[in-house]
Amino acid sequence: DLTGIDDYFIRVIPDNKPIAYEHAIYTYNNLKAKNVVCAIDLSNEGFTMTYFNNFKNKFEQINGTTVHAVKFTSGLNVDYRSLVDNILSFNPDGVLIITNPMDAAMICQQLAKRHYNKAITSQGWALAEEFITHSGKSSEGVIFPIYTDPHSTKEEYLSFKEKYNQFYEGEPQWGEIFTYEAVMVLRDALTKAKVFTPDELKKHILEQKTFRGLQKDFSIDRYGDGKRDVFWLKVIDSQFRRINE
């Protein structure tokens, strides 16, 4: 874990603890879920188990009840029917799916076949058009926390989006947005620096603290860790739409 360490690793996004914490708070306060089951894909265990543990710790802290885990490994002939039977055996009023778009879609399909009509959320790994394409109507109402807003109307973002589309014939995703912002952070530091050394560049980045993002300003703390607000997206009419926090 490189968070909270005074080193030369500077990033424009947080680790997954803050967003997992907000996810837990939102699930409890906004979705009114008290008994949550998480479907966890072990094919990317470093990410999924960390996200799950952070979510679990915060949810149990504010709620006092246990968050259950149902584990599987993507790509190993997953029996989605049995997987969802296992999830529903806990009688959850909230399901969190921590996996890729395809497996998240398959799980949602099986939940719909069981007429599960309570809260379903997922996370940024599953947030792709592929999820909606393969889940169909069963994706309706699924909620995602994310650090970018695909429906942003901010002038800087719209200009970036237009130029990106002209060159790559597609819309920029979170990776492209954060990469551009990282380059702008470095550009500003290079402009201010008298000598181009790691210490000098780090000094100017950390001194600035707050940076103008394509969609919203973000900050970098004294350890070089990014801080951002979370946006909430919900599948409505087969589209990811931003909803009020």
Q: What is the largest CA-CA distance in the chain?
A: 64
Q: Which residue is it, tokens 């799916």? A: 97
What's the pLDDT at 115?
97
To the nearest whole percent, how much of the chain has pLDDT over 70?
99
Q: Is the dihedral of CA 103, 109, 115, 118 positive or negative?
A: positive
Burial (Cβ within 10 Å: 0-12, 13-18, ≥19) of residue 172: buried
Q: What is the pLDDT of residues 37-55, one digit of tens each?
A: 999 999 999 999 999 999 9
Q: What is the pLDDT of residues 174-228, one digit of tens each?
A: 889 999 999 999 999 999 999 999 999 999 999 999 999 999 999 999 999 999 9
